[in-house]
Amino acid sequence: MLSQATEYLPTIAATALLATSGVAVYSTYKLLTIDRERKAKDNVYETAKLVNEYLVFHYGTPSEVLRYDFGPTSSLDFARRVADECLEVYRGQVNKTKVPKRALDIGCAVGRTAFELARDFEQVIGIDYSQAFVDTCCALRDQGSLDYSVQDEGDLSTQLKAVVDPAIDCSRVQFQQGDACSLPLDLGQFGCVVAANLTCRLQNPYDFLNRLPNLVAPGGILMLTTPCTWLAQFTPKSNWLGGYKDKNGQPVTTFDTLKKVLGPDFDLIAEKNMQFFIRETARKNQWSVAHATIWIRKE
């Protein structure tokens, strides 16, 4: 019996190895599948659908974004209005001889604000985490326009064209992929830094905020907007700037934390509510209100 058992040992071992290998292969497959699904979920801003939605958000005419004779028309053109707010302060309250004629748009999406800032600034850098957004920005810069489609209903869509104002010198603008929480150290300083609707989508917004004093030149402008839509999907609760109660049970808002973190290096000169409208389909859209703050870097 011993010799018979010994005779079958290689077969048993091989079977066990195959079974173990099968489990390992299956486990690896499951892990890779889960990882791919996680990355797809994390990279929602890489999808063509989101690129198209942001193209119409940035460049769509009122009739392309809102097809009805009713609705929040004053919420349209948000990306241009953000640039207008910055340029108004730059033209009226900034000593242009003391700050670099450079602007930085962090979280630039598909580039409208960056292009608009090039009306006054000699160099504009737009940075976004999404490579799809950056590629779209570069195509718009190089071609001046870009064809795209927006979803109307189900598989029905409408073809549109995003156009950069020909009066803008697009050669002043460059775009690059980057993480707002870990920006390149060689960016230098800017006369204007803007981050629109970015902070509540960052993994660690404190890392971003702590970098700002080094990016904005003394006397320069910082503009932040946020709808304060904090979600654990994007930002761990321990890193939220607001939307929670402190250890004493007192509510903490995003604005409270911005003033606390930025106050030592910046003077708050203006705050306002800015509505914006994101088209999803012909009948389903997002209407939101961002809290906008404008700061001047202390000298």
List the CATH code of the domain at 45-297: 3.40.50.150
Nearest CA-CA partner of 222 in 266, 258, 271, 187: 266
Q: How many CA atoms lie within 13 A of 154 on its CB side?
A: 1
Phi, psi (5° rounding) for residue 248? -95, 5
Domains of the chain, by residue range, sit at 1-42, 45-297
What are the pLDDT digits (tens) for 190-218?
999 999 999 999 999 999 999 999 999 99
pTM of the model: 0.84
Q: Starting at the earlier edge strand, list the strands of the sheet with 266-279.
A: 173-177, 123-128, 102-106, 190-196, 216-226, 285-297, 266-279
Nearest CA-CA partner of 294 in 125, 102, 93: 93
Q: The tokens of 198 are what?
A: 């970015």
Q: Given pLDDT bands bounded at 50, 70 and 90, which one contains residue 46?
A: confident
Give the H/E segment covering residue 289.
Answer: strand 285-297
What are the pLDDT digits (tens) for 87-113?
999 999 999 999 999 999 999 999 999
